[in-house]
Amino acid sequence: MKTLGGIAAAIAVTVTTVLGAAPANADFTDPVEMTDNGENTEAGGFGEYAVDLHHPRSCLVVQNHRAGRVTLRLNYPVSKGKWTFRHNTVGVLTYKNRVVTSPSGRWSVRTNPPIVFTWVYDANMNTRKGCNGSWVLTMN
């Protein structure tokens, strides 16, 4: 029971942080460019996760609150690269100086190391960057 209480508290803090930060400044994210040329890595190094709600042309914002670096790749929408997020990095995914958007609003990502993360949608975030809202992926 103590473990469940701790997990619930961590989730509550994450949701409060994400939802509390967005209305104050909807475009708070810095662009995060790809870190390599898209060469494949070993498939076993990534874990797959996805969110399947429809928000066409949404962007993806990643918050890394873990102690170390996390590498992220997209399964959908398809991309040929990877993004690396250092500890306490918050950024919107970009490719060639343009935000990455999902045509359907669905996102499927892989992370290395494989971790569990939370998804929150904010309809007002990054709209000035051409996004129809943003999915915020938070890693703790």
CA 110 to chain centroid, in Å, comes to 10
The closest of 123, 120, 121 to 131, measured between CA atoms, is 123
Q: pTM above 0.75?
A: no
Beta bridge partners of 121: 135
Of the listed ranges 28-32, 58-62, 77-81, 109-113, the one predicted with least confidence: 28-32
Confidence of residue 26 (pLDDT cuts 50, 70, 90): very low
**Of 8-17, 32-41, 69-78, highest mean pLDDT:** 69-78
What pLDDT is recorded for position 116?
82
Between residues 77 and 33, which one has the greater pLDDT?
77
Q: What is the token pair recorded at 11?
A: 């989730």
Cα–Cα distances (Å) from 129 to 13, 28, 93, 104, in that order, read 27, 11, 11, 18
